[in-house]
Amino acid sequence: MEIKNEELSPAQTRHLANKKLGFKMLWIVAGSLLFAFALVPLYDVLCTITGLNGKTVTTASQLENAKVDETRWVTIQFTSSVMPGLGWNFYPKQASIKVRPGQVETVLFEAKNITSQVVAGQAIPSVSPGQAAAHLKKIECFCFQRQELKAGETKLMPLRFFVSNDLPVDVKEMTLSYAFFKSKD
């Protein structure tokens, strides 16, 4: 036997409506959580494919096929920052470098732990202009893994890279920035 809405009191009708709304809200919260967890791997894939945020993947075949373009130069500027709470000094050993597309280069960054304890950090790269990000190919980078410095330790961190030949000709300058964040243990 089914109860019809006409047979329910106003309080019972409100209770059923509230219960229905509660279930809808629960589904929205659950869906939002699932979406939030799915965003991290999706964002990583998007960044790797497009070079967004400086995330690039360089394969051995790309390196072997890279031919140096002797007809042009690209100036790459390096900047760095340390987020509050890390307790490091971090900077590039040179402010900029001129490279030819396809030419492999190595630059050094220096990090110093200015605290009295072991501190770990993770570097996050960013390349601008955005259209150049996919053309900066990192071969070796301290940003690939978490870095740990003992109290007072200074460490030179190499970056090996090249700029691909298919970089648009109108891009003559790019900036590679690294922000170091305190890494969670």
State the pLDDT at residue 1: 47
Q: Rounded to an integer, what distance in angstroms lies between the CA atom of residue 1 and that of residue 11?
A: 21
Residue with more model confidence, 143 or 42: 143
The mean pLDDT value for 34-55 works out to 68
- Asked if residue 44 has pLDDT above 90, the reply is no
pLDDT of 132 = 87
Q: Count the Cβ atoms, other than its own, within 10 Å of residue 128.
A: 15
Give the model's confidence band at 4: pLDDT under 50 very low, under 70 low, under 90 confident, else very high: low
Amino acid at 175: T
Beta-carbon contacts of residue 173 (< 8 Å; ≥ 6 apart): 74, 75, 76, 77
